Amino acid sequence: MTDKAQELPRIGAGLRNRIAVAAGWFQGTHVEMVEQVAAYGFPAFESLGAKNWDDRTAVRTRCEELGIAVGAVGGGGTIAGPGPADPAYHARFEQEIRESIRRATELGSTVLVGLTGQFRQDVPKDVQMEAIVAAGRRVAPMLEEAGVTLVWEALNVKVNHQGYALVYSKDAAEVVRRTGSPNVKFLFDVYHQQISEGDVIRNIREHIDQIGHFHFGDNPGRHEPGTGELNYRNIFKAIHETGYRGLISAEFGKTCPTEEVLRILAECDAW
């Protein structure tokens, strides 16, 4: 570890939740970024594109040395185009997941994000949800063999992703239940679900058995906690009380220096 990293304040030491910070907040190489995450006392980092890093094997080695977990990476599917909500996409999705498992394993990630594609206006919703179930069942054996979990991401259509197929946590949870694999869950993004349905803490508690990963950012604006309407101290406390011990990953554009954001996250995790 560089001398500069060793001098950083251990802001994240003593966290109750496993908060993953964004890789893009740090300067230097990917390995140097990992060293900074560790020096600040945080347990994990996340970058959805990290499966494509050329140095992913070196990053995994350094993470193992420092005890840093690697968050979710992109798995397969689309936001704006055809995706697993359409059976015609399933063969492509299988190949995407197969390749993503290989790259994620090289990096050290055990979570893949699945995107369902656009809602098809000419097809009933229940038929499209069943298509997502079928896509999950198709890739479940390879996920289980690799020890990797696919998490379907629900996104809001009111502000950011008009026309996306999977929006509500109740629908995502039902897809997971019907898929019937311990390695297929859904991603609860607090920012998106606040916009789509609100009632964040109640929905987390109700669906925690089907949730495999969390993203968070404040609303409106998708910035750090304290810039919007969400009470992240209460949300983090509620997540911890469910017994969830996976990663809770920051996914937002920060409006202040990195060290200040890290202090805000640590404060939200203190209750």
What would the pLDDT profile of 123-133 be if each residue is shown by its tens digit? Answer: 999 999 999 99
Model confidence pLDDT, tens digit, residues 179-238? 999 999 999 999 999 999 999 999 999 999 999 999 999 999 999 999 999 999 999 999
Residues with Cβ within 8 Å of residue 34, at least 6 apart in sequence:
45, 59, 62, 63, 66, 68
Model confidence pLDDT, tens digit, residues 59-95? 999 999 999 999 999 999 999 999 999 999 999 999 9
Q: Is the pLDDT of residue 169 over 90?
A: yes
> How many CB atoms lie under 10 A from the CB of residue 90?
18
Check if the beta carbon of residue 269 is closer than 8 Å to that of residue 17: yes
3-268 — its CATH code?
3.20.20.150
Domain ranges in the chain are 3-268
User: What residues are paired with 269 via a beta bridge?
Assistant: none
CA distance 253 to 24: 10
pLDDT at res. 1: 65
- DSSP-assigned letter for residue 247: E
pLDDT at res. 3: 60
CA dihedral 35, 41, 46, 47 (to 10 degrees): -40
- Cα 10 off chain centre by: 24
pLDDT at res. 132: 98
pLDDT tier at 7, thresholds 50, 70, 90: confident
Q: Per DSSP, which regions of 61-219 are E strands? A: 69-70, 73-78, 111-116, 149-153, 184-189, 211-216
